[in-house]
Amino acid sequence: MSYNLLKGKRGIIFGALDENSIAWKTAERVHEEGGTFVLTNAPVALRMGQINALAEKTGSQIIPADATSLEDLEHLVEQSMEILGGKLDFVLHSIGMSINVRKGNHYTDQNYDWTQKGTDISAMSFHKVMHTLYKKDAMNSWGSIVALTYMAAQRVFPDYNDMADNKAYLESIARSFGYFFGKDKTVRVNTISQSPTPTTAGSGVKGFDGFIAYADKMSPLGNATALDCANYTVAMFSDLTKKVTLQNLFHDGGFSNVGVSNEVMEAFIKGSE
């Protein structure tokens, strides 16, 4: 169902890799709601994914960009405004990567060069994206910038490793830069803290399938899917949320406010019998 919520709005969507990714689903929903956008990802991710099919489906152009490179980001923002015919109304930052997780390094035994690279890709890139948008005055008034995060920024999930630190940093950047973007440009900046979602990025975390099942049993509404998250992001891009900024918005079926659920208690009681 379409409500034309983003009719006439333009933006950039970072991080669509394949049809499981939240950025991919968001691009589809933005298109259905009348928005136009440029798709971007790192050159290596573009080779791995199927983003051309998404571009064709949504009538979008793809601009390769390394989100850690200011030069690439400047080119991306300039080209996007040229292609789309004006300033931007929305930006989705859906980028995260931990080499320590990929290589199986325990949190207590990190390769710090890898840690730094992961921080640069997963969190510092968000500052660089906003720095570029801010410097180039590329956002329309009442525009909306959203980054995707996870509750490991607030609570311990042992196998989430250094990504937990990256997400905490990402959320802090959203608040700090969001203050200046709000005061100086009337642009809102928020993070969406999504349920564990079976994406290419998420499934790299050890024990992820078990955790998805646990979170689902803990959440009164069950886990939010990638499509659910896309719908929420569309709402955040729309004019219906104009006064929401500097927020970390939990989109997790209620998981973040549940101490324990009956289903989880029952499973433990059965296990101890």
Per-residue pLDDT reduced to its tens digit, 105-152: 999 999 999 999 999 999 999 999 999 999 999 999 999 999 999 999
**Average pLDDT score, the chain:** 95
pLDDT digits (tens, 9 = 90+) for 53-82: 999 999 999 999 999 999 999 999 999 999
Is 272 annotated for ligand binding?
A: no
DSSP state of 225: P
CB distance 252 to 193 below 8 Å: yes
15 annotated ligand-binding residue: yes
pLDDT over threshold 90, residue 203 = no
Residue range 82-98, pLDDT digits in tens: 999 999 999 999 999 99
Tokens coding 54: 């998404």
The confidence score (pLDDT) of residue 201 equals 66
Known catalytic residues are: 150, 160
Dihedral of the alpha carbons of 249, 254, 260, 264, in degrees to the nearest 10: -120
Across the range 176-200, mean pLDDT stands at 95
Domains defined along the chain, listed by start: 10-272 (3.40.50.720)
Q: What is the pLDDT of residue 207?
A: 74
So what's the pLDDT on residue 10? Answer: 98
Q: Please report where in the chains the tokens 């300039």 appear, as a residue.
A: 78
Is 167 annotated as belonging to a binding site?
A: yes
| Helix, strand or coil, per DSSP, at residue 11 | strand
Residue-wise pLDDT tens digits, 29-59: 999 999 999 999 999 888 887 999 999 999 9
Return the SS3 of 122.
helix
Query: In this structure, what are the phi and psi dihedrals at residue 200, rounded to the nearest 5 degrees?
Result: -60, -40
Question: What whole-number distance in Å separates Cα of residue 76 and Cα of residue 24?
Answer: 18
Separation between Cα atoms, residue 207 and residue 188, nearest integer Å: 35
The pLDDT > 90 percentage for the chain reads 89
For residue 145, say whether it is annotated as part of any ligand binding site.
no
